[in-house]
């Protein structure tokens, strides 16, 4: 259970969001500029709320009243960025292993094989990020986040920088991830079609406020806006 009740002023823009949701995939839906990325940056611990609280199950991650702020690196929240952000000086294998090393987790060969199979990236292990296509990069980024064994996975428009063909290539992996990985996710997108295929509950954002919350039926009828 993810509980968010935060407010943040960013220049002219004010964000005031309250919601509580339970996996598998919570969709954060809204046009660009609605505050989706600022919101998940707060969940990740990359941005501090001015006021409010964020908690997963019974653990408080942020509580401005109690002066609690758990730094990003202690949250165990995975983050897949729109631009993948693979480490250019490390090969795919080392990128995938990074989170395990930093969290001092034991090497789990079975888990590694499961994730690389799930994402079909086993053949890329010796390559550098510079030698990967956009879709491959995004799959490696997904694998890297999963292998850090997060308790929540944030995906910020992971298909946003890909063309239609690549989107079609990645979507089935995300569906498999939802059904097989067992990690609750928050999925950010402005594409209603993607949301329908993936999300199990929807938080609709407009100009920094929640305008609707519920199942996929709250999504607009048109494919995207």
Partner 1 sequence: MFDISPTEWTAIQLSLRVATVATLVATPLGIGVAWLLARRDFWGKPVVDALIHLPLVLPPVVTGYLLLLTFGRRGLIGTWLADHLGIVFAFRWTGAALACGIMSFPLLVRPIRLSIEAVDRRLEQAAGTLGAAPWRVFLTITLPLALPGVLAGMVLGFAKAIGEFGATITFVSNIPGETQTISSAIYSLIQTPDGDTAALRLVVVSIVIAMSSMIASEWFARRALRRLHGN
Of 93 and 196, the one with the shorter C-beta distance to partner 1 is 93
- For the CB of residue 148, give the shortest distance to partner 1 in the complex, in Å: 5
Considering only 71, 106, 165, 217, the residue that binds partner 1 (CB under 8 A) is 71
Burial class (CB in 10 A: 0-12, 13-18, 19+), 163: exposed
- Tell me phi and psi for residue 213, to 5 degrees: -145, 135
Describe the strand order of the beta sheet including 77-80 as a list of residue ranges.
Answer: 68-69, 59-63, 51-56, 2-10, 13-21, 209-214, 201-206, 25-29, 185-189, 152-156, 77-80
10 lies in the binding site for partner 1 (CB under 8 A): no
Whether the link from the prior residue into 24 is cis, omega within 30° of 0, is: yes
Subset of 79-98 contacting partner 1 (CB under 8 A) = 79, 81, 83, 85, 87-89, 91, 98
Count residues near partner 1 (CB under 8 A).
Answer: 31
73 lies in the binding site for partner 1 (CB under 8 A): yes
Of 148 and 202, the one with the shorter C-beta distance to partner 1 is 148
What separation in angstroms does the CA of 99 have from each of 56, 180, 208? 20, 20, 32
CA distance 28 to 24: 13
195 lies in the binding site for partner 1 (CB under 8 A): no
210 lies in the binding site for partner 1 (CB under 8 A): no
Of 74 and 207, the one with the shorter C-beta distance to partner 1 is 74
Subset of 116-145 contacting partner 1 (CB under 8 A) = 127-131, 144-145
CA distance 50 to 10: 10
β-pair partners for 26: 186, 201
- For the CB of residue 204, give the shortest distance to partner 1 in the complex, in Å: 25
- For the CB of residue 191, give the shortest distance to partner 1 in the complex, in Å: 23
Considering only 77, 188, 204, 205, the residue that binds partner 1 (CB under 8 A) is 77
Interacting residue ranges for partner 1, rule: CB under 8 A? 44-46, 71-79, 81, 83, 85, 87-89, 91, 98-99, 102-103, 127-131, 144-145, 148
């Amino acid at each position: 259970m993810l509980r968010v009740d935060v407010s943040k002023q960013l220049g002219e823009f004010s964000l005031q969001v309250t919601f509580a949701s339970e996996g598998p995939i919570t969709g954060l839906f809204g046009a660009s500029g609605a505050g989706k990325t600022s919101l998940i940056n707060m969940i990740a611990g990359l941005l501090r709320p001015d006021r409010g609280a964020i908690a997963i199950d019974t653990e408080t991650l942020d509580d401005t009243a109690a002066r609690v702020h758990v730094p990003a690196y202690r949250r165990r929240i995975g983050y897949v960025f729109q631009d993948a952000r693979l480490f250019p000086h490390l090969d795919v294998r080392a990128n995938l292993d990074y989170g395990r090393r930093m969290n001092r987790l034991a090497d789990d060969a079975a888990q590694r094989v499961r994730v690389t199979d799930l994402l079909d990236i086993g053949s890329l292990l010796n390559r550098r990020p510079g030698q990967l296509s956009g879709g491959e990069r995004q799959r490696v980024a997904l694998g890297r986040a999963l292998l850090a064994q997060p308790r929540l996975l944030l995906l910020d428009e992971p298909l946003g920088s890909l063309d239609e063909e690549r989107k079609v290539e990645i979507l089935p992996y995300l569906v498999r991830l939802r059904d097989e990985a067992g990690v609750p996710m928050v999925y950010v997108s402005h594409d209603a079609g993607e949301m329908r295929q993936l999300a199990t509950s929807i938080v609709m954002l407009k100009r920094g406020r929640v305008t609707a919350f519920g199942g996929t039926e709250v999504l607009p009828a048109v494919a995207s806006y």
